[in-house]
Each structure stands twice: as structure tokens, then as C-alpha cells.
């Protein structure tokens, strides 16, 4: 049975989350009753990964509700709207954050009284966390059928348990395959500059007992030429209604190389990652992070003074490169402009 530490938890009006910047060297937690500290943790990437950011945002709203000094429902709703607006400004690409904040706001605005609103917000945040874990478990059940005994699976960034409530998205099929006794190995792209692949994916797969190797992001070409790669599974931060997939920068080149080598390229994501309000890839807001996150490595400058880096944190993979999208409701295949709306009953 899978035994990984919980990414984020709610207990007695406090939030406890793993500080992912400290991994893999130490497993440290941030514990707070201040919703602004949770917003800060999202901004600083102490917690990251689209579904985990969504749960963290929901818990931040719950902290705001529980510790609010509002004297009536109207005051509470206005505080929650301010909190929601700050949370929406933390990271722009992960749709789960916007989805979760809207869910919590809608729940609060339906409540008949101040006390019921507080309770309803906490219950909703906990439900979002539970639903995420359940969705990922199902993604695992659908996706494990794609992994055969002896396979090599490639992934990028960390779309693992650490990026979600539990199980992960891209890793859920791996964990389910492991539970069914399949033997396989994983090649994780290290994922410059935050090294989510080398630090986080390698850490949690190792904890789970899965054979994992790290490769630098620029070695996907030679690795696909010289090693047998059977399958690529990646996560997603936002998927449009026609199947454009925003995910960690480097995913698009990975999809191109996979296509050239005839390697199936799957995306694993819960339905909370789908933004049906947009169609094309150019409509997805792409986070651009500070130059220093690239020009410095662990506080040491690596580029000449006066030279800046251009750091897009995500890229967009077009639907024609995506073999299938593994969701909690099943795997959808092209044409996505039909299969994605159908997934939502449209
Ligand atoms: O910048 P990050 O670490 O938040 O980026 C994470 C990713 O790109 C993940 O692949 C994505 O959020 C899916 S997580 C299940």
C-alpha cells in the first residue's frame, strides 16, 4: 500500500503543508492559521502543482472564514472576495486554483447566516481535497492499463502526490500499476530551474519503491534514441475545451520528440483542470517568473552580470500531439473538441 506523507492537511482551524522547497534534503512543514501565509506559500512555490494549489487556495479561504472578525454575513462575504482576489493573483496558469476559489465563494454566498457560511466554507474546502484524492485514485485505475510489465515511462516536473491531495495525476497510473504487481521503470526529467523532477518526483517514487532515473531536460532526444521509452505521462495546469494542454515548460518539446519516435504521449488530469471557457492555446495565461530564478542556482549566480533570463514557467502542447487525456471519468481521445465537451455532458 502507498504510504506517502500528506501534501496539505486541515486540522482545528490550522493548515499544515509540506515545504517543498526543502525536499529532498528534509521533510519540513509550514503550519499556519493565517490565510495570507498560505497565499505566500503558493507564490513562493513552497506548495505547487495545480491540484495542490487548488486545495491550498480552498484551505486559505477556510482560514479566512474561520478567523474572520466579521459581524454579519455581508462583511464575511466581502472579506472572502478580497481573499479570493489575492489568491487569484498568486499563480496565473493552474486552473484548479481559480476553480477551487470560485467553488468556495459560491458555497459561501448560498449560506443563510454568518455561522453557517463559516461551516459551509470549511466543509467545501475539505470536500475539494477529498474529491481531488478520489479523482486521482480513479485516474490511476484508468491509466494503469496503459503500463505493461517491463515498461519504461517518462515524465516531467512533479505531477505526483506532492502536487495533489494524494496519488498525483501522472504518477497515479504508476502507483496503481505498482499495486497490481507490475514492474516498470520511470525516467524523470529534472525540470530546470526548480528541479521538481530531480527533487520531488525522484523523491516520492523512491519512497514508493519505484525504480526511477533522472535525466537532464535537454537529453530527451538522445534518451529516446538510445533507451526504450514506451510511454510518456505528464500532468497539466490547464486544458482548453479543444485539448490544448498547459504544463511545465519543456512538456511541448517532450511531446514533439515523443511524436517523432512514435511514443504515446498521455496527459493525466482531473476535470478541475479543464477550462471550458477557452478554446485555443494562445488564450491560456502563461506565468513568467523572475529572471533570477534561472540566472542563480542555490544563491550562486551562473550567468554574467547584466544578462537576464526569459523564464516562461509553462508551455502549451497542441492537441495533435496528445495521444489521450486520462481523467477520473475515463480516458478521452481525439477529436478533443468533441470528446472534452462530451466529458462534461455538453
Ligand atoms: O510550477 P509547478 O511546480 O506548480 O508546475 C507543476 C506542473 O507543471 C505539474 O505538471 C501540473 O501542475 C500538474 S500537477 C498534478
Taking only the tens place, the pLDDT of each residue in 69-97 is 999 999 999 999 999 999 999 999 999 99
Rounded to whole angstroms, the Cα distance separating 110 from 80 reads 13
Domain annotation for the chain: domains and CATH numbers: 8-137 (1.20.120.420), 142-343 (3.40.50.10470)
Residue nearest to atom 6 of ligand 1 (CA): 49
**pLDDT reported for residue 239:** 98
How large is the average pLDDT for residues 196-224? 98
State the chain's mean pLDDT as an integer.
98
Rounded to whole angstroms, the Cα distance separating 92 from 252 reads 19
Collapsing DSSP to helix, strand or coil, 189 comes out as strand
How large is the average pLDDT for residues 27-33? 98
Burial 73-82 (b: 16+ CB within 10 A, else e): beebbebbee
* Residue pLDDT, tens place only, 41-60: 999 999 999 999 999 999 99
DSSP-assigned states of every residue in 300-341: EE-S-TT-----BSEEEE-GGG-SEEEETTEEE-S-HHHHHH
Nearest ligand 1 atom, CA 91: 4
Pocket around ligand 1: residues whose beta carbon is below 6 Å from it? 48-51, 94, 157, 159, 163-164, 168-169, 196, 235-237, 247-248, 313
Phi, psi for 226 (deg, rounded to 5): -105, -20
**pLDDT reported for residue 198:** 98
User: What's the whole-model pTM score?
Assistant: 0.97
Rounded to whole angstroms, the Cα distance separating 165 from 6 reads 7
- Å from CA of 342 to ligand 1 middle: 25
Indicate the top mutation candidate among 236, 245, 252 to test ligand 1's pocket, ranked by most ligand atoms within 8 A of CB.
236
How large is the average pLDDT for residues 152-171? 98
- Å from CA of 104 to ligand 1 middle: 22
Q: For cell 495542490, what's the residue?
A: 52
Long-range Cβ pairs for the range 202-207 (8 Å, 24+): 202/24, 203/23, 203/24, 204/4, 204/158, 204/160, 204/161, 204/162, 204/168, 204/171, 205/160, 205/171, 205/174, 207/3, 207/4
> Would you give the DSSP letter of residue 162?
G
Residues 15, 31 contacting (CB under 8 angstroms): yes
Rounded to whole angstroms, the Cα distance separating 47 from 230 reads 31
**pLDDT reported for residue 288:** 98
Nearest ligand 1 atom, CA 248: 8
pLDDT bucket at 240, cuts 50 / 70 / 90: very high
Peptide bond into 81 cis (omega under 30): no
Which grid coordinates belong to 300? 550562486
**pLDDT reported for residue 207:** 97
pLDDT bucket at 111, cuts 50 / 70 / 90: very high
Nearest ligand 1 atom, CA 196: 3
pLDDT bucket at 1, cuts 50 / 70 / 90: confident
pLDDT bucket at 307, cuts 50 / 70 / 90: very high
- Å from CA of 49 to ligand 1 middle: 4
Nearest ligand 1 atom, CA 287: 1
- Å from CA of 165 to ligand 1 middle: 13
Residue numbers annotated as active site: 237
> Would you give the DSSP letter of residue 185?
E
For residue 312, pLDDT over 90 is answered with yes
Amino acid at each position: 500500500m502507498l504510504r506517502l506523507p500528506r501534501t496539505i492537511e486541515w486540522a482545528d482551524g490550522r493548515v499544515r503543508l509540506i515545504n517543498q522547497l526543502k525536499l529532498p534534503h528534509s521533510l519540513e512543514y509550514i503550519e499556519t492559521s493565517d490565510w495570507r501565509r498560505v497565499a505566500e506559500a503558493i507564490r513562493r512555490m513552497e506548495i505547487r502543482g495545480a491540484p495542490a494549489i487548488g486545495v491550498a487556495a480552498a484551505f486559505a479561504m477556510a482560514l479566512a472564514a474561520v478567523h474572520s472578525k466579521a459581524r454579519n454575513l455581508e462583511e464575511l462575504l466581502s472579506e472572502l472576495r478580497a481573499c479570493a482576489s489575492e489568491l487569484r493573483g498568486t499563480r496565473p496558469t493552474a486552473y484548479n486554483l481559480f476553480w477551487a476559489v470560485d467553488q468556495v465563494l459560491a458555497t459561501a454566498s448560498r449560506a443563510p447566516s454568518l455561522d453557517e457560511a463559516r461551516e459551509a466554507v470549511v466543509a467545501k474546502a475539505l470536500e475539494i481535497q477529498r474529491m481531488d484524492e478520489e479523482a486521482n485514485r480513479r485516474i490511476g485505475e484508468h491509466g494503469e492499463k496503459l503500463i505493461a510489465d517491463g515498461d519504461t515511462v517518462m515524465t516531467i516536473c512533479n505531477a505526483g502526490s506532492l502536487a495533489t491531495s494524494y496519488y498525483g495525476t501522472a504518477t497515479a497510473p504508476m502507483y496503481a500499476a505498482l499495486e497490481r504487481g507490475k514492474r516498470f521503470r520511470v525516467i524523470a526529467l529534472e525540470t530546470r530551474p526548480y528541479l521538481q523532477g530531480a527533487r520531488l518526483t525522484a523523491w516520492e517514487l523512491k519512497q514508493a519503491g519505484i525504480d526511477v532515473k533522472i535525466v537532464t531536460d535537454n537529453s530527451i532526444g538522445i534518451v529516446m534514441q538510445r533507451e526504450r521509452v514506451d510511454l510518456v505521462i505528464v500532468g497539466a495546469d490547464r486544458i482548453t475545451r479543444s485539448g490544448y494542454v498547459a504544463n511545465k515548460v519543456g512538456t511541448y518539446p517532450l511531446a514533439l520528440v515523443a511524436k517523432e519516435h512514435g511514443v504515446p504521449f498521455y496527459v493525466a488530469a482531473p476535470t478541475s483542470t479543464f477550462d471550458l471557457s477557452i478554446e485555443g492555446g494562445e488564450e491560456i495565461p502563461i506565468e513568467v517568473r523572475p529572471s533570477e530564478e534561472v540566472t542563480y542556482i542555490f544563491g550562486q549566480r551562473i550567468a554574467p552580470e547584466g544578462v537576464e533570463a526569459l523564464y516562461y514557467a509553462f508551455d502549451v502542447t497542441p492537441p495533435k500531439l496528445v495521444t489521450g487525456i486520462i481523467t477520473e471519468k475515463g480516458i478521452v481521445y481525439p477529436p478533443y473538441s468533441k470528446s472534452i465537451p462530451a466529458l462534461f455532458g455538453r
